[in-house]
Structure 1
């Protein structure tokens, strides 16, 4: 199975990541921002209203936890690095969890602590804009697990969606959550993930 994005992609942008703290980069993402995920999450009822199937909690203390359908299964992608990934049994609909670490960007703990979420999301946004895989890329803001997140939204040329949340949790860690798949699946899964993310399993 091959998903659209891996954290190894982000390592290629590590040098530009540190440099993109200027206001011009910040404004670029803010210009793209909107209050909801276009064409997928807008006007969708919450998962608490729509849940009709059994669910499971997946993840780890390092990467956080989300609620997904119980029928989804864990898999390890060859190029997926240390991601935690679950899918619906296909290579189409996938949820991915990870946490950015200082060594991934080649920076110190103090430099990591000084990073802003928008710097990381800008790096991802720019890399997706340059990719030939996507016909449309835009930025937005949302809330996941009670945290404000920068969201990078992509539509692949094959019609598949990729939605990436980047946010900083209250333990000071920068978190990465992504969903990819077809709209009819994501419209139900997206609010479930946004409402359920937590850094500790209850």
Structure 2
């Protein structure tokens, strides 16, 4: 039952996507993520995202999941498919108690509903989502940064809820689509799975990071 508050927040944020919020973006902190990954049974020996700092992440106890419209990524082997009872097209995978969860959406120009005077892209979606978090009564604090996700420039929101739950949300563009990836759970889960997501998300169903 602990996951209900965040699932409600996800539904709220999805609704905000169809309308422009019209607020200015805060100055972002530039960060760089750099990781090297060990092999899985379906992965190459290493997958590297260029950076000044290298961190090895084992994928030995993970499984590759995903969907063509939102991309593919690795999660712990004991995680299971999850479907938000409120519906929606997002793709979700969660721990068995549903407290720790990953939710991914992908949007093209028609799905993002770009209004007159707006420019399609990650910044447009990031501004809308961030405004939603700023006004969400369940949120204790938020932080917005610029970073890298799967080799792409990305906006990252670090969010802590009043009930103690942690959330990391990335917004980025690849090709003609904008994606948002939401990781939620305990502080330890978010810290552990962050590099796995950043390293393994891609459009190839078999090869992490591709």
Name 1:12's counterpart in structure 2: 16
Runs of 4+ residues over 4 Å off in structure 1: 44-48
**1:138 matched residue in structure 2:** 143
The count of aligned residue pairs is 185
Q: 1:67 maps to which residue?
A: 74
Question: Whole-Å Cα distance in 1 between the matches of residues 59 and 18 of structure 2?
Answer: 42
User: Which structure 1 segments of 5+ residues have no match?
Assistant: none
Residues 178, 150 of structure 1: alpha-carbon distance in 2 compared, 3 angstrom cutoff = same
TM-score computed with the length of structure 1 as normaliser: 0.79
Q: Residues 141 and 45 (structure 1 numbering): CA distance in 2 closer, same or farther, change over 3 Å?
A: same
How far apart are residue 157 of structure 1 and its match? Answer: 0.6
**Alignment of 1:122 onto 2:122:** no
Q: CA RMSD in A?
A: 2.7
Q: Decide which structure has greater helix share.
A: 1
Residue in 1 that maps onto 2:194: 190
1:176 Cα deviation from its structure 2 partner: 1.2
Within 5 A, what are the aligned runs for 1:32-181?
Answer: 32-35=28-31, 48=38, 49-51=56-58, 53-107=60-114, 114-169=119-174, 171-181=175-185
Shift in alpha-carbon separation, 1:167–1:89, aligned structure 2, 3 A? same
Report deviation, 1:103.
4.1
Distance across 1 between alignment mates of 2:124 and 2:89: 22
8 Å Cα contact 1:152/1:163 also seen in 2: yes
Distance 1:73 1:15 in 2: 32
Cα deviations by residue, 1:30-69 (Å, 9 ceiling, x for unpaired): x243426xxxx9xx98664342751111111110011111
Higher relative contact order (CA 8 A, sep 6+): 1
Which structure has greater strand proportion? Answer: 2
Where in structure 2 are there 5+ consecutive unaligned residues? Answer: 39-55
